[in-house]
Amino acid sequence: MCPLDHSEPGPLSANHPSDSTQAAASRIWPSEGYTRAPYWVYQDAETFLQEQEKIFRGPNWHYLGLEAEVKDPGSFKSTYIGEQSVILTRAEDGSLHAMVNRCAHRGNMMTREAFGSAKKLYCVYHAWSYTLKGDLSHAAFSQGLRGEGGLPKDFKHADHGLQKLRLETLCGLVFATFSDETVPLEEWLGEVAHGIRRVLKKPLKVLGYDTQRIHANWKAYHENPRDSYHANILHTFYGTFGLSRMSQESGMILDKTGRHVYFYTKAGTEKKSEDYEKTSSQLRSHNDGLKLEDPSILKWTDEYGDGVSVQILTTYPGFVLHQIANSLATRQICTKGPGQTDLVWTYFGFEDDDAEMTERRLVQTNLAGSAGMISVEDAAVCEMMQHAIGDAQKGQSFIEMGGKDLDISGSSKLSERAIRNFWHHYKTDMNF
Ligand code: FES
Ligand SMILES: [Fe+2]
């Protein structure tokens, strides 16, 4: 499936506009702070508009794609930061550039293509064209005709380029920011950059895409891959077939600001204990009686040599990198109004993978994505939660597993500290 759909702009109204208006009247954060998330924050239309300004156009880095997607000079892709369509280009000299997908003349969208190749960016409305670096190169009829019309004498091409974004890369990932104040990408990622370097160790090769429309607020999904507590409980496939269990060696690493996190599990490192046995017997997620007719999906190789079978990495506010066995993918959160989110999955391997490894990655792609054996439940619970919130007049979530603080230390996955840290940064950015 095409990784994005420009034909359907994000609806800026909430699922229930009248409810949203009522919620706005009581837009007060609970006194407990980041250990609670009020349910109106998942629905309120005014809050959603503020998020676009303060978070998506604010001082954060946003994932745009893989360098491998715009490999050749002249290639481009279009994608989103929040609701804003942006273009990522590879110029003739090999440099990468990011710019708003909007003509500097009268605001027309420059391209509706997800991917393409061009010598220049051309606006169909009045034929202004731009270099692949976003500079205006030609404005049609700028001198007028037969002495009439045309642009003013003081018109300077240099003043009318596309709006450019700052761009940085790490291990083949491309990030951009609207803000001059955002610290350099690696500094911003901090300790979590190690988790990126571990997985993206060689030049990448794209294997395919899957775009999933989730009928829930973007924050409901963003909380999910930060939530190591749910992983071995909700996802029955993980526990039943041993890819990830609470009883296995695992860890959780946050950067020192608490914005970003990754957690990991090592398959085959079972440590049985009395309290684990007692709890796991009550979980639906762990069923030793089930067997796969075709277990080939579970045949993975330890390509990193560290025994880690699952690593899920999340950066604030909308990016996920996963390694589930030999399945590798990025996930990009694209907001589509307060009540809808597109999750763009990009599956990849390495350029030097042999045919057997590529086949293995493709088979294990069935673990992830919109209908994945493991991840199918994530979108389902986000949507169930969005429905259960109802009119959001009252109520709040409770986020005290593993403590009430922002302490980033400790390795237990039985903790919601990454989620508390998310709400802390969210509240700060939004001035709540
Ligand atoms: S809007 Fe692009 S050339 Fe007029
Ligand atoms: Fe999950």
State residue 96 phi and psi, 5-degree precision: -100, 145
Rounded to whole angstroms, the Cα distance separating 169 from 200 reads: 12
Scanning 141-273, the segments in alpha helix (DSSP H) are: 185-189, 192-199, 218-226, 228-234, 236-240
The DSSP code for 14 is -
Question: Which among 290, 267, 288 is positioned nearest to 277, based on CA atoms?
Answer: 288
Which residue type does 297 have?
I
Same topology between domain 62-169 and domain 192-430: no
Please answer whether residues 83 and 335 qualify as being in contact, where contact means their C-beta atoms are separated by less than 8 angstroms.
Answer: yes
- 62-169 is classed in which CATH architecture? 3-layer Sandwich (2.102)
Q: From residue 96, give the alpha-carbon distance in Å to each of 16, 72, 87, 337, 412.
A: 41, 10, 10, 29, 40
Thinking of the domain 192-430, which architecture would CATH place it in?
A: Alpha-Beta Complex (3.90)
Rounded Cα distance, 100 and 185, in Å? 20
Cα-to-centroid distance, 378 and ligand 2 (Å)? 5
In angstroms, what is the span from residue 289 Cα to ligand 1's centroid? Answer: 64
Return the number of other C-beta atoms located less than 10 Å from residue 240's C-beta: 18
- Best residue among 126, 130, 155 to mutate for probing ligand 1's pocket (most ligand atoms within 8 Å of CB) is 126
Count how many Cα atoms sit within 13 Å of the Cα of residue 108 in the half-sphere of its side chain: 13
- For residue 108, the ligand 1 atom closest to its alpha carbon is 1
Q: Where are the domains of the chain?
A: 62-169, 192-430
pLDDT (0 to 100) of residue 2: 47
pLDDT at res. 18 = 45
Q: What type of residue is 385?
A: M
Model's pTM, two decimal places? Answer: 0.92
pLDDT in tens for each of the 432 residues of the chain? 446 556 554 544 444 444 545 545 568 999 999 999 999 999 999 999 999 999 999 999 999 999 999 999 999 999 999 999 999 999 999 999 999 999 999 999 999 999 999 999 999 999 999 999 999 999 999 999 999 999 999 999 999 999 999 999 999 999 999 999 999 999 999 999 999 999 999 999 999 999 999 999 999 999 999 998 898 889 888 778 877 777 788 899 999 999 999 999 998 777 766 666 666 666 665 666 778 888 888 899 999 999 999 999 999 999 999 999 999 999 999 999 999 999 999 999 999 999 999 999 999 999 998 889 888 999 999 999 999 998 877 899 999 999 999 999 888 888 999 999 999 999 999 999
Closest ligand to 111 CA? 1
Cα of 104 from ligand 1 centre, angstroms: 7
Nearest atom in ligand 1 to the alpha carbon of residue 140 is 3
Q: Tell me which residue has its CA closest to atom 4 in ligand 1.
A: 126
Size of the chain, expressed as the number of residues it contains: 432
Beta carbons of 33 and 420 less than 8 angstroms apart: no
Distance in Å, CA 110 to ligand 1 centroid: 8
Provide residues with CB under 6 Å of ligand 1: 103, 105-106, 108, 123, 125-126, 128
Which ligand is the nearest neighbour of the Cα of 235?
Answer: 2
The H or E element spanning position 388 is: helix 376-388
